[in-house]
Amino acid sequence: MTKINFVDHSGETRTVDVENGATVMEAAIRNAVPGIEAECGGACACATCHVYVDEAWTEKVGKPTPMEEDMLDFGYDVRPNSRLSCQIKVSDELDGLVVTVPERQA
Protein backbone atom coordinates (compact mmCIF):
# COMPACT_ATOMS: atom_id res chain seq x y z
CA MET A 1 0.00 0.00 0.00
CA THR A 2 1.14 3.49 -0.84
CA LYS A 3 0.29 6.59 1.17
CA ILE A 4 -1.11 9.73 -0.46
CA ASN A 5 -1.62 12.98 1.44
CA PHE A 6 -4.43 15.32 0.44
CA VAL A 7 -4.22 18.84 1.82
CA ASP A 8 -7.45 20.82 1.64
CA HIS A 9 -7.39 24.53 0.95
CA SER A 10 -7.63 25.33 4.67
CA GLY A 11 -4.41 23.39 5.19
CA GLU A 12 -5.77 20.24 6.82
CA THR A 13 -4.14 16.99 5.68
CA ARG A 14 -5.86 13.65 5.12
CA THR A 15 -3.70 10.59 4.50
CA VAL A 16 -5.10 7.60 2.63
CA ASP A 17 -3.73 4.22 1.55
CA VAL A 18 -4.06 3.02 -2.00
CA GLU A 19 -2.64 0.11 -3.98
CA ASN A 20 -0.14 0.69 -6.76
CA GLY A 21 -1.68 0.98 -10.19
CA ALA A 22 -4.72 2.92 -8.97
CA THR A 23 -4.89 6.66 -9.64
CA VAL A 24 -4.64 9.50 -7.15
CA MET A 25 -8.24 10.38 -8.08
CA GLU A 26 -9.38 6.84 -7.17
CA ALA A 27 -7.56 7.14 -3.86
CA ALA A 28 -9.55 10.30 -3.16
CA ILE A 29 -12.95 8.99 -4.26
CA ARG A 30 -12.67 5.67 -2.41
CA ASN A 31 -11.82 7.53 0.77
CA ALA A 32 -14.36 10.29 0.24
CA VAL A 33 -11.74 13.02 0.23
CA PRO A 34 -13.71 16.26 -0.12
CA GLY A 35 -13.10 18.53 -3.09
CA ILE A 36 -12.40 15.85 -5.69
CA GLU A 37 -15.50 15.41 -7.84
CA ALA A 38 -14.30 13.27 -10.75
CA GLU A 39 -17.52 13.60 -12.74
CA CYS A 40 -16.24 11.64 -15.73
CA GLY A 41 -14.89 8.76 -13.68
CA GLY A 42 -11.28 9.22 -14.67
CA ALA A 43 -11.55 9.54 -18.43
CA CYS A 44 -9.70 12.86 -18.55
CA ALA A 45 -12.90 14.42 -19.79
CA CYS A 46 -14.13 16.73 -17.01
CA ALA A 47 -11.27 18.46 -15.12
CA THR A 48 -13.10 18.07 -11.80
CA CYS A 49 -10.28 16.04 -10.23
CA HIS A 50 -7.81 18.94 -10.37
CA VAL A 51 -5.02 19.02 -7.74
CA TYR A 52 -1.80 20.95 -7.12
CA VAL A 53 1.21 18.71 -6.73
CA ASP A 54 3.47 19.72 -3.84
CA GLU A 55 6.63 21.38 -5.16
CA ALA A 56 8.79 18.62 -3.66
CA TRP A 57 6.99 16.04 -5.81
CA THR A 58 6.48 17.73 -9.16
CA GLU A 59 9.51 16.12 -10.73
CA LYS A 60 8.58 12.57 -9.66
CA VAL A 61 4.96 13.02 -10.71
CA GLY A 62 5.92 14.45 -14.07
CA LYS A 63 4.20 16.73 -16.56
CA PRO A 64 0.70 16.39 -17.97
CA THR A 65 0.28 14.92 -21.44
CA PRO A 66 -1.05 17.24 -24.19
CA MET A 67 -4.53 15.72 -23.76
CA GLU A 68 -4.45 16.49 -20.06
CA GLU A 69 -3.19 20.03 -20.74
CA ASP A 70 -6.19 20.55 -23.01
CA MET A 71 -8.52 19.40 -20.26
CA LEU A 72 -6.76 21.59 -17.69
CA ASP A 73 -7.97 24.56 -19.75
CA PHE A 74 -11.34 23.93 -18.11
CA GLY A 75 -9.94 24.01 -14.58
CA TYR A 76 -10.12 26.89 -12.13
CA ASP A 77 -6.95 28.68 -11.00
CA VAL A 78 -4.64 26.40 -12.92
CA ARG A 79 -0.99 26.69 -11.87
CA PRO A 80 2.30 25.31 -13.14
CA ASN A 81 1.98 22.41 -10.65
CA SER A 82 -1.61 21.61 -11.60
CA ARG A 83 -2.50 18.05 -12.57
CA LEU A 84 -5.66 16.05 -13.08
CA SER A 85 -5.46 13.45 -10.33
CA CYS A 86 -7.09 10.75 -12.49
CA GLN A 87 -4.04 10.89 -14.72
CA ILE A 88 -1.51 10.22 -11.93
CA LYS A 89 -0.88 6.51 -11.41
CA VAL A 90 0.26 5.50 -7.97
CA SER A 91 3.54 3.57 -7.62
CA ASP A 92 6.11 2.94 -4.85
CA GLU A 93 7.93 5.99 -6.11
CA LEU A 94 5.03 8.17 -5.10
CA ASP A 95 4.76 6.85 -1.53
CA GLY A 96 4.06 9.88 0.66
CA LEU A 97 2.97 12.09 -2.23
CA VAL A 98 1.44 15.41 -1.16
CA VAL A 99 -1.23 17.09 -3.28
CA THR A 100 -3.41 20.09 -2.47
CA VAL A 101 -7.08 20.14 -3.41
CA PRO A 102 -8.09 23.48 -4.95
CA GLU A 103 -10.70 25.70 -3.37
CA ARG A 104 -13.15 24.63 -6.03
CA GLN A 105 -13.38 22.41 -9.06
CA ALA A 106 -14.51 23.78 -12.40
Partner 1 sequence: MSEAIKTDVLIIGAGPCGLFAVFELGLLDMKVHLVDILDKIGGQCAELYPEKPIYDIPGIPLVTGQGLTEALLEQIKPFDPTFHLNEMVESIEKIGDPGFRVTTDAGKVFECKVVVVSAGGGSFQPKRPPVPGIEAYENTSVFYAVRKMEQFRDREILIVGGGDSALDWTLNLHPLAKRITLLHRRDDFRAAPHSVEQMRKLVADGKMDLKIGQVTALEGADGKLSAAQVKGSDNAMSTISCDTMLPFFGLTMKLGPVANWGLQLENNLIPVETASFETNVPGIFAIGDINTYPGKLKLILSGFHEGALMAQKAHRYVYPDKRLVFQYTTSSSSLQKKLGVN
Ligand X SMILES: Cc1cc2nc3c(=O)[nH]c(=O)nc-3n(C[C@H](O)[C@H](O)[C@H](O)COP(=O)(O)OP(=O)(O)OC[C@H]3O[C@@H](n4cnc5c(N)ncnc54)[C@H](O)[C@@H]3O)c2cc1C
Which residues would be at the binding site for partner 1 (CB under 8 A)?
Answer: 40, 43, 45-46, 69-70, 72-74, 76-78, 80, 104, 106
Q: What are the CA-CA distances from residue 78 to residues 18, 48, 50, 56, 102 (Å)?
A: 26, 12, 8, 18, 9
Are the beta carbons of 87 and 44 closer than 8 angstroms?
Answer: yes
Choose among partner 1, ligand FES, ligand X, none what residue 25 binds, the Cβ cut-off being 5 to 8 Å by kind: ligand FES
Look at strands 82-84 and 2-7 and give their pairing.
Answer: unpaired
> With respect to ligand FES, which residue has the nearer C-beta, 57 or 83?
83
Q: Which stretch binds ligand X (CB under 6 A): 25-33, 37-45, 59-67, 96-104?
A: 37-45
Q: How far is the CB of 38 from ligand FES (least distance, A)?
A: 4
Residue 19: CB atoms within 10 Å? 10
Q: Which is nearer to partner 1, 2 or 26 (CB)?
A: 26
